[in-house]
Amino acid sequence: MKAWRLENFGLDNLKQVEVEKPKIEANQILIKVNSVSLNYRDTAIVDGVYTPDLLEFPFIPVSDASGEVVEVGSDVSKFKKGDRVTSHMFTKWLEGKPKSDEQLHALGATVDGGLSEYMVLNEDATVFTPDILSDIQASTLPVAAFVVWFSLVEYGSIKAGDRVLVQGTGGVSIFAIQIASALGAEVIATSSSDEKLEKAKALGASKVINYKTHPDWENEVQKLTNGNGVEHIVEVVGGSSIAKSIEALAYQGNIYVIGFLENMVAEVNLFSLLAKQAKIHGVNVGHHRAFEDFTRALDQLNIEPVIDTIYSFDQAKEAYKHQAKGAFGKIVVDFNK
């Protein structure tokens, strides 16, 4: 079968090769992959900045994949040939707190990922693709969309009527706008571009702040919420942004640290933290049970993933380059294009 393999760090070492179709064990399924999507994580892996010590070359990259079951192991009871399925990144993290080694098994990193014609998944590292989504759409879910659900639902126990601040309009943030508003929250979105803020409104944001014209956006948030602040902040910026995020919170509000575009080190004023009784959660995607919950919920919620550009299998490198530059929505590789 055809596959892209990373043979060493650097995009030059991403090579299209012909390899043997993988074999499945009793509790596994074989997928014919139809679509994968890229995340910041995927470019960070290629660049050698994300868990480089754990990687063993060569391996097939990319964690997010959707496709069709073509073969099932003898112990598999949940799936059958022909089922439409989507991958779950942490292949051994089923539920609850991760146990010692459950975070070490990650698709597209320590376990072969989805950038190949066929892909092996553990039965319990797989979910049914939501009926209302195409494979192209569903392949955008496992990291960027699910991390938002896991933050808001599992950590934050979000309730309809809560207020959610979303920073910027990257892949995670767009999903945050869509998911939070579908869950009945009031969403405030920030961006440096009025044009993108208009799009954010169309996707569900009730209120928007241009942080270029309002560098003190934390005060704007307090104004827009009548001095209450927001219960939830999807934090993807890091660095000095966290200090402002604390100021924008409601009492006992939650900051979900998902990324750190600006700076990996944040200076946190502890007095502000405790005066606000703020909670900061480090979020690293989530477990299989919650991913099942999320994908099942999508059949009820009206969320259409925003896709920036679709590339063909042969254009995988172009897809990586686009992902590295940034996009409004997700970068997808459609194997049938």
The SS3 assignment for 302 reads coil
Q: How far is the CB of 110 from a copy of itself (least distance, A)?
A: 14
**Overall size of the chain counted in residues:** 337
Of the candidates 223, 276, 224, the one whose C-alpha atom is nearest the C-alpha of residue 245 is 276
For CA atoms 323, 238, 151, 220, give the dihedral sign: negative
DSSP E strands: which ranges in 98-183? 118-122, 126-128, 163-167
Burial 85-111 (b: 16+ CB within 10 A, else e): bbbbbbbbbbeeebeeebbbbbbbbbb
- Of the pair 112, 186, the CB lying nearest a copy of itself is at 186
Contacts by 76-84, CB closer than 8 A, 24 or more apart: 76/26, 76/27, 76/28, 76/29, 76/123, 77/123, 78/123, 78/126, 79/29, 79/123, 79/126, 83/128, 84/128, 84/129, 84/135, 84/138
304 alpha carbon, distance to own chain's centre: 15
In the complex, the smallest distance separating the C-beta of residue 56 from a copy of itself, rounded to whole angstroms, is: 19
Nearer to a copy of itself, 18 or 267 (CB): 267
User: Is there a contact between 185 and 163 (Cβ–Cβ < 8 Å)?
Assistant: yes
- 252 vs 312, which CB is nearer to a copy of itself? 252
CA 78, CA 250: separation in Å to the nearest integer?
43
Task: Tell me the sheet residues that pair with 29.
Answer: 72, 121
Q: How far is the CB of 229 from a copy of itself (least distance, A)?
A: 10
DSSP 236: -
Give dist(CA 20, CA 171) in Å, integer. Answer: 33
Smallest CA-to-CA distance from 142 within 91, 73, 199, 204 is with 91
* Min separation Cβ 79 and a copy of itself, Å: 14
Positions that interact with a copy of itself (CB under 8 A): 77, 94-101, 103, 153, 155, 157, 159-161, 181-186, 206, 227-228, 238, 242, 250-252, 257-258, 260, 264-284, 289, 293-294, 296-301
